[in-house]
Structure formats: structure tokens, C-alpha cells
Structure 1
């Protein structure tokens, strides 16, 4: 059974990252989800399910994020006045809700305010407030507001750094290191105040601190000709993780690194995909899995493929910054994992993170040696795979026959197989152009993707046809499983 239940409630402007569908509760899987955890984006239906979905979210979200933001707020008169207005508005909304649903608390005079007078005065004086400063009643009210999703509206939507104009001006040295080093904390804070809002260079992850060595010094043999395919898998997992954590992977480095291992077959499963289709198929399968079904399914996954295309269009320096940021994420997760003493399967996760860190560094060195035109060729293949997936999703593939309603069992499967013959016939046309590649793919696929325009065109047709064949076979398997269940 599908856990995603479509309803008639459609938005006027549906987005690939915001599909017009309703989801069931991620915890109990019985009720429609009405709220979203502001930290991990898990969907839940009630306070009970929120408390059950993640103890890390309920206990450390406020301490590590909300209170940290309050500490960074400047204690000027305008900020104090704005905070007072927020408290008054929140107080009036809370009081209206208490009048409607919590009549039993009317006898308690302390329940008439969200924050105590002492806490409000501390806010107005510009002093920092943390979780320990709240009274027992204030803590309960805060947790109730988190559970109901009221605080989620206070979280600003994150704009990926690779979509900003400043991402196209990334410059690295010939050794791959960053040309601009970070300022001292006081200078950086002053610079941020002077620049104001807008595209900030600090939003882009910095490049490596040390020069990147040649690949020949890391291994004695020739690198795999499929490293470009592995790079697509890794970039997808990076975009998935940053979208999931709203750009703030530092808030939960262990969780972020674990998500990367779960989504990437190259980093998490020691996979060796040999085609872009194979790499994207695994990533999309993980995106649509029950573990991440609340993220949006296939539309969200196709949006991530578009993120991969954006990053590839930025060129080698941006790719190195992506891999460097991903390496820091894995390293930080590994360090925090060492500090924790009660985590289960600690040894296994640590070993996976260590291997992932080495693989990311190796591919970073490999990317540094590739010519700039390699990424446009790789982006063309990724774009062809995405177009094929979009055509199938829109029902534009005429070669997949519609099954007859009266067909049953094996007859239905035979009809799909007949339509598959046509696909395989089209596939044979492109296979003739790749007879040498089929005989020995590891020799015929160029490691730098510096192929001629004719070869690139044939390869794109070949990849698109392969995608159609894969989708047809997947449909056959799904129909077969459905008939077997009947």
C-alpha cells in the first residue's frame, strides 16, 4: 500500500519540491499528518506522535538553534521593540487558544501569559535567554508550541547557495585551494553588518585549505572510468541532505552524515554504478523509500536532479567546494560520533564514515584535474535522463501500451512484454553504434568525458532509450507483483 494519499486539494502553482498531496503521519501511519517537525521535517499528526518521532528534536532543537539565534540578536532598541511585539502577539494568540480548548486552566493565574514577567524583562534588557531560564510552565508551553508546528513559521526558507549569482564567481588557486581566507571573527562580523542582505561570499562553502595532490600520487593504477558517474551520485546525496536540513547540516552533523550514507550508493554501500541512469535510479529509489516518503517522493527527487544540473553548470571550482563541504560534514559527524558513548552500531558507522571521507577526497582530487568541458558533457547526460523520466511521468511514452481492463494474470504481463519488444528494437539501433563499448565498456567510456559531438549525441540517445527500457521493466515487475498479490 502507498503511504502517500492524494486528495483533491491542489495548489494553484504546484512545485516539484512541494507536490500537491497529503501525507499520513510518519510515526503512527494511521492519521493524516497535520504538522511538520521544524528540524527534521518529519510529518506527524499529534503531540503524542511528535514526542515519539525523535527525542533529539524535542530536546535539543530549542537549545541548539532557537536560543543560539536569540544570543546572536543585537540588543538595540529596534530589536527589543520587535521582540516585545512578537511576545504580545504570541500571548494574544495563545490566550485565544486557551479560551477555546483549555477551560480547565482558567483558574490558574500563571497560565494567562506565555512568558513570565521576569523573562520578558530579561529579553527587553538585551540579555541572552536559554532553555534553563524558562520556568517549568514556560518550558511546557514552548514544547507545546513546537509540537503543534507554531514555531515552524519562524524558520525562514533556505535558498541553496548554488542557485545564487555569487556561486558563478567562485575562484580557486591552481592547487585547488581557496584564494580568499576567512577574516578574524570581529572583522567578519563587521563586514556582514556593512554588506547587509544579499548574496554573501561567506554563503559559499570554502575550498580546501591544503593543495590537492595529483591522483597518480594517491593510487598506482589508472582511476576508474566511471568516476564521473560516481560524482553524480555524490552530488545528489549532498543536495538531498542540505535540502532536508534546510541548509544547516551543522545542527546535526551525525544525522546529516548518516543521510548521505543512506542516499548515496557510492559512499554508503560501496556501490560502483557504471551509468548515470544506474546512479540516478538508486538515488530516486532512496528518495521515494518509506524512510523519506515525507519529503515529496519523485517530484522532490526530480527537483534534486535539477540541483545537480545547476552545480555541474558552475564548473570545477563549485564542484570542489561541494565535495569539500561534504568532506567537512562527514568529518564533523565522525568527530561527534566519537564523543558520544551510548550510540548503537557505533563501530560500523564510524568505519563507513571513514571510507566515505577518503572516497570524497579522492574524487575531489580527480575533479581538480578534469577539463572544464567535461562537466557540460556530463550535464547533458544527466539532462537526458531527467527528460526521459519527466516524459514517462507525464504519460508521453507512446511505446508503453495501456493494459486492457479485462486482462488478467499472465496475459497482462505478455502485453507489456510485447510493448517492450518495440523498445528493444529501438535500443538495437543505438547498440550498433556502441558495439565496441558493449564488448569492453571500461575501455570505450572516456574517463574525462572528452568525447566528440557525434559520440555525445549517440550517447544521449542511448541513455534516453536505456531509461525508457528501465522504466518499462520496472512497470512489468510492479504489475507482476500486483497480480501475484491478487
Structure 2
């Protein structure tokens, strides 16, 4: 789904809405939102099937069926970005697949598992995530996670100071707004794999998860702010994002601490400025009467940004408290995993292997067991 230019747009080809900034990569139908794009899913599904079959055709020595499909799906991102990505259907190749491979392929498409086979998206703040056993003080052997983090958003040299804003002096509870906002930011970016063209869905997800941005919700501690965001994820009906619950809390720690051990709050500033830009872009995709909630959230981001640049010691304290919360959430995940193993009757790695052989995605099952 590609964002269109600024010229006048034809109406949505599904619901008739006036603004339709997206285009189906296969039929070129103009669409107004992610919902309408999924609503004409037969066409979108056919497009992805074509690309996977085309990619499979280039494999000279294909591995077993699931790995073969995974290898093809990992090339979809590059194929999807090309203007001429839609190629021939590849009927001969489709006929060459076994019935089990065809059924597994259709399952991947219909269940959404296809997306888990694409290269993992790494956020700009990402540092190698230690395995759960390592987080609990149990060193484990194994390969590091693959992939490189995306480049950080631009940070201007000059940021408006807090004294220049028309706002009351900061409350003692202001610091605890920040972990709640950063949790929403990390969750929404991870949920949408960093795709900033998903507007207004991406910034709307931040608002759904961050009560500090939705209204005047106050928190008495970082722990309260983080657990409130976790609760809002479930209330809003969102699935668990690829970072996982503990991973999203860990993302807040990493942003507060800063890359390479920096504690000057620069990464917090980068996150808040990035979030402010996302709300600004999202406003243009909303009807005029619905833009206020985005503009209010944008102003709160600007206020927190100005405050954070003057409180590096407070940010360090928030990072320490958030690390304690992360340890608790990670321990909670470990207990749930042990219960799942007892209930399923075997080690979770073996269970994953069995499920993968049935055509289900490994990464999604790991999230279920975590």
C-alpha cells in the first residue's frame, strides 16, 4: 500500500470516501484506509501469492516446504516496493506445489502468518535483545538476533525550552507521564512494523494505549504508568505486538537510557519529536472535526520534550524504575511459559518445531508461549 502524492485524489473504490490516499499494488484501485485495503483482500491476497510464487521460481535448490515459503516471503518487502512488482501468476509453479504445500500457503495468507516471515523490523533504539533466561540472570548459548536497527529520526539542533511554552509549571507527577507515552509509541511502531504510511492508524494506536496522551490521566509511579498502558492494549482489543509485552517495556528502558549508554535524554527527545511528527501527519488524514485529539496529543509531546531536556537526572531514575518493572514482566512471562509447557506436555522449543511443521509461523507461536 503506497501513499499517493499531494494532487487531488479520486474517491475510495470501496466505500466512496472523498480522500483515498492509498493504491492497491495489483489493481491500482484507490483506497481510503487500511480497513478498505483489507476489505478488498481477494485482490491483495492474489498480489502476494503472485510475488511469492515468482520468488519461489528463482530458487534453484529449494529447502523443505515451510523454509521454501519463508525464503520467498522474506523477499516480499523488496518486491513490493518496486513499481512493476505485480508479475505473472506463475500457474505452472503453483501446480508444482504439493497439496500440503498449497494448503499451508493458503493458511499463511488467511491467518496473517505471511507477515511473520518477512525480515524483522528493528526500531531505531534497538539493541540486541537478550533472551529471557539472560534477563533473569541465566546465561544461554545461541545466536544473536539478526537485522540492523532503522536509522533514528532527525533531531534538530535547537529545541524550544520549557520557559517559552504557555503552560503552568510542571507538576511533580509529570515524569511518570513519560513511560506511559513511550510505551504507546514503542507498541504502535512495533505493531505496524515501523510503516509510517499507515495513517491515521499508527498514531491512533498510540492514543489508544497511552492514557497520558488521551486526557489528563495522572500516574504516581513509572510502574503504574506502564501497567496502565499494558491494560489499555487489552481493552482496545489489539493483538500483542512483535516486541511482546516485556519487550515493549524493555524498549521504554532503552529509550530512557539512550543508545551506547547515553543518559543525556537525547533518545527521549528523538522519540517525542518523532511522535509529534506522526500526530501532525495523522491529522491530515482525519476529518476536520476529529483532528483535535491528535493536535492535543501533539502539544503534550512538545511539552514533555521541553521538560525532558531539562531533567536528565529524572530520566535516569525513570529508567531504573522501568528496569524493575521489566524484570517483573519478564518473570511473569517465564511463569506463563512454564505453565504452557506443563499443559502441552513438552519443552516449548519442541512444541514450536511441531507447529512449524504443520505450516504455522514460529515467530507467532513464540509470542504465544512468551
TM-score using structure 1 length: 0.44
* Partner Cα distance (2:110, 2:154) in 1: 36
Q: Which has the higher helix share?
A: 1
* Partner Cα distance (1:393, 1:154) in 2: 24
Residue 228 in structure 1 maps to residue 228 in structure 2? no
Residue from 11, 29, 36 that aligns with 1:55: 36
Q: 1:238 deviation in Å? A: 0.6
- Give the SS at the match of 1:251: coil
Contact 2:180 2:229 survives alignment (8 Å): yes
- Give the SS at the match of 1:160: coil
Tell me the equivalent position of 2:94: 94
* Partner Cα distance (2:183, 2:238) in 1: 15
Q: 1:237 deviation in Å? A: 0.5
Contact 1:311 1:319 survives alignment (8 Å): yes
Residue 320 in structure 1 maps to residue 261 in structure 2? no
Tell me the equivalent position of 2:300: 359
Q: How many residues in Structure 1 have an aligned counterpart in Structure 2?
A: 246
Residue 370 in structure 1 maps to residue 311 in structure 2? yes
Contact 1:232 1:276 survives alignment (8 Å): yes
Tell me the equivalent position of 1:272: 218
Structure 1: tracts of 5 or more residues without a match: 1-52, 74-82, 103-142, 166-196, 339-345, 397-486
CA RMSD, Structure 1 to Structure 2 (Å):
4.0
Give the number of the structure with larger relative contact order, counting CA–CA contacts within 8 Å between residues 6 or more apart: 2
* Partner Cα distance (2:207, 2:155) in 1: 22
Residue 159 in structure 1 maps to residue 122 in structure 2? yes
Contact 1:261 1:269 survives alignment (8 Å): no
Q: 1:214 deviation in Å? A: 1.8
Residue 291 in structure 1 maps to residue 237 in structure 2? yes
Tell me the equivalent position of 2:155: 207
Contact 1:230 1:266 survives alignment (8 Å): yes
Contact 1:215 1:365 survives alignment (8 Å): yes
Structure 2: tracts of 5 or more residues without a match: 1-33, 49-76, 129-145, 337-370
Runs of 4+ in 1 over 6 A off after TM superposition: 60-63, 98-102
Tell me the equivalent position of 2:82: 70
Contact 1:287 1:301 survives alignment (8 Å): no
Contact 2:176 2:219 survives alignment (8 Å): yes
The correspondence of residues 330-409 of structure 1 with structure 2, limited to 5 A, is: 330-338=279-287, 347=289, 349-371=290-312, 373-391=313-331
- Give the SS at the match of 1:273: coil
Q: 1:96 deviation in Å? A: 4.0
Residue 305 in structure 1 maps to residue 249 in structure 2? yes
- Give the SS at the match of 1:252: coil
